Structure 1
Amino acid sequence: MVGKLNRVIMRNKLKQYLLILCSLITFAHFYACEDTLLNNMVDDRVYLLKSGLNETQVYNFDQATAKVIVVKSGVGQTERKVRLDVSPNVLSAYNTANLTDYKALPTSVYTLQAGELNIPTDSREAVFEFIIDVVKYRAALANEPGVTFVIPCEVTNLNPGERDSAKMQTLVLPTIIEPYIYFSNPGFRTENNDITSKSQDILHFINKIEINYPANGAVQYTLGIPANSSSLIAEYNATHSSNYVMLPTDAVSLQTTGEIIQGVNYGNYTFQILKSKLANKYGKYLLPLKIEQVSQSKIHPTDNIVLIPFNYYE
């Protein structure tokens, strides 16, 4: 009996030892994998997002900004410090190597916000910003037509890693963009909007409105029927030998306010046509709409009006 009990005890101890051994093997394997993973990860490397000729769109906001972006890739366990200098030597070398004739933008046209930047351990980029004086820039272009102005930049990595280049070069070529909101299809719309006895009493329409810039938050806008609608229709009729008349205002239910959410460059505006409000059952109508207000940027000076045609017949 005692011998049998001892054998049971020995078997239980053996099971415990085996469990402990399996746990140790699993634990060791886990850390071996972790070490292998870290060994395969590359050290941090710093480089320009856009080296060489950097053609950049500069939106004419209150501050028109051209950017030079320095990127850090890799494990992300080190901090970097970088410095930007405007260098005529960079421009000379580029023109010689590429047989170009770019000219340095006068320093009075721009201001470098900060010449040295840190890229912290947990960060992936640093952004140098040039504030462009748009009026002076356009004056420089007008004074020397045919000249392409650039800002020649040399970025120095002040504490480079083994895989880093100590110095990096780029030429910033700004293109000024006026930030606008506008109708996607301005002017006279060419689609056929037919209304007949078989049409529903309320007709629903959706059209698109756009912006050409990266918005800082949602963009609110207001639509309306322009005060000079009659003259717009008369001008169109005279130019195109047509006989459109104004769509009765009480036949329109317009969504007068709308929003373009941040991260996209367009939104939809809607309106309804009330068929019962059209007294004449035969006719060609125009609905003029105008962008009247916007919460940021500007309204396009010509693409802010749309003329939507309707053909009503039984």
Structure 2
Amino acid sequence: MANSYSQRRIRKIVRRFGLIPLRSESVASFYRKNAIIRVQTESGSYAMKPFYRSLLLRSGTIDQIKTTADYIQFLMNSGFNNMPKWLKSKDGRIWILNQGRPFYVTAWIHGRKLETPADFEKLGRALASLHSSRFLSMNSTFFDHIHLWKNRDRLFRSRMTIANQANLWTHRWFKRFGASCIQFSDRTWTELKTPEIANLLKKEMVRPALIHNDITAHNVIISNNGQLFIIDWDHMKLGSIYVDLAITLMNTTQFNPVFMHSLLKGYEELRPLNHAERKLISALYRLPREAWHIARFPDHPRSRNMLDIMEQTWLLRLRAMDVLDEWANSGPN
């Protein structure tokens, strides 16, 4: 939303969760101006958040918030303690509808960002704990990231010429790095066809796990008492734990080998990975997802920023790929 929420609307929403607000303020995210409303009450601070549907799913907003609420309730009942406490509304649900938009309220987590190897070990353990949660339902639908990524890779290849013609800076970038991106993808698709990895993916589709689907450095907080919290669960779904782990490695570790190994160490403390699983994670990490986005939206301002970041970190990315390849090859058979 472009405009801030009125104080009257904020009071009306949070009172349905049993809160009496003293003051509130909008907090921006990387994508939205009013991503979260921080609400101060006599009992502490809370996060009031509008729920946005995933455009990748065919279902409507209400169906998506109902499904997400089921997942969240399942995690709370399972004792998962790496997400903020969700408040229940006066009607017993963990979300309400206001002016056609779903909203939910959680505790506000005071803390800091990921900084140390120990922080990344905590993140690895939290992710492994999440991936160990098996949500069983007759209506469960597996979200196939790999199928989606293959389509985006095909679109990337077909639009490279268009992207090259869009403007000088995209032309220069694709001329320098485009062929390498295609080579990375080709190598990954080849590895995913090997029998051991293909079998992994087939088994996962039969019995998927809950994934967060959007773990970034901004979505992880180390609280003042040292506990790790993952926030922003709007896009959680049943999907591939290997995709979720690969995305988390890319989005949080800054291509730092120490942080990467720390995250993986924490993960394997709770959920050890065999050789095939390690190979799959390394292969998925290699995919140039940012380049795919840039080819889809070459004139978008954010694409220019992404190109600059990719160029500045290119050598670090190559080293990070090597680090994961070494890790994958050192795993148990």
Q: Give the TM bin, normalised by the shorter chain.
A: under 0.3
Q: Which structure has the greater CA radius of gyration? A: 1
Q: Give the TM-score normalised by the residue count of structure 2.
A: 0.19
The structure richer in strand per residue is 1
Q: Give the TM-score normalised by the residue count of structure 1.
A: 0.20
The structure richer in helix per residue is 2
